[in-house]
């Protein structure tokens, strides 16, 4: 099972800005910037590529792209959650991947964690209290 920490962009300004003008270290290793109730993203104003993934409300990947270059726009009307990170040479989401969200208390704040379902075993850890993607705000 692959785990990503999810940092939600939940103000108008954070949603509009995304990763524009952010520096290395804004997102920690294994962290994604998430946009709930979102169907499109842009890279206008970016100076480097990003990796993006769109999920539907049930947690299925409906679109994923690595190294989306600046000055581009992507939209998926069937998406509910979009996540992004600065482009990395590490594995990324693929069509057919499914995820679920677990909310838990971090050191200082309530944090959301995105779990990628294990395709090999076909089952999740039943001990985790799961949320559907469409449950997050």
pLDDT tens per residue across span 53-101 = 999 988 889 999 999 999 999 999 999 999 999 999 988 998 988 887 7
State pTM to two decimals. Answer: 0.81
Contacts 24+ apart (CB under 8 A), 55-58: 55/79, 55/80, 55/81, 55/82, 55/83, 55/99, 55/133, 56/80, 56/133, 57/132, 57/133, 57/134, 58/98, 58/132, 58/133, 58/134
Query: Which domain range does residue 66 map to?
Result: 2-135
Which pLDDT band holds residue 2 (cuts at 50, 70, 90)? Answer: confident
Which is more confidently placed, 76 or 21? 76
Total number of domains in the chain = 1
Q: Residue 18: which CATH number?
A: 2.60.120
């Amino acid at each position: 099972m692959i785990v990503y920490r999810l940092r939600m962009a939940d103000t108008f300004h954070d949603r509009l800005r995304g990763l524009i003008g952010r520096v290395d270290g804004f997102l920690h290793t294994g962290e994604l910037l998430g946009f709930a109730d979102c169907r499109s993203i842009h890279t206008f104003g970016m100076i480097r590529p990003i990796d993006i993934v769109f999920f539907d409300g049930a947690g299925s990947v409906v679109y994923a792209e690595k190294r989306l270059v600046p000055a581009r726009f992507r939209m998926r009307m069937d998406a509910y959650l979009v996540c992004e990170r600065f482009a990395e040479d590490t594995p990324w989401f693929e069509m057919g991947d499914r995820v679920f969200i677990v909310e838990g208390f971090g050191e200082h704040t309530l944090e959301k964690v995105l779990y990628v379902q294990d395709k090999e075993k076909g089952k999740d850890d039943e001990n985790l209290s799961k949320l559907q993607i469409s449950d997050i705000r």
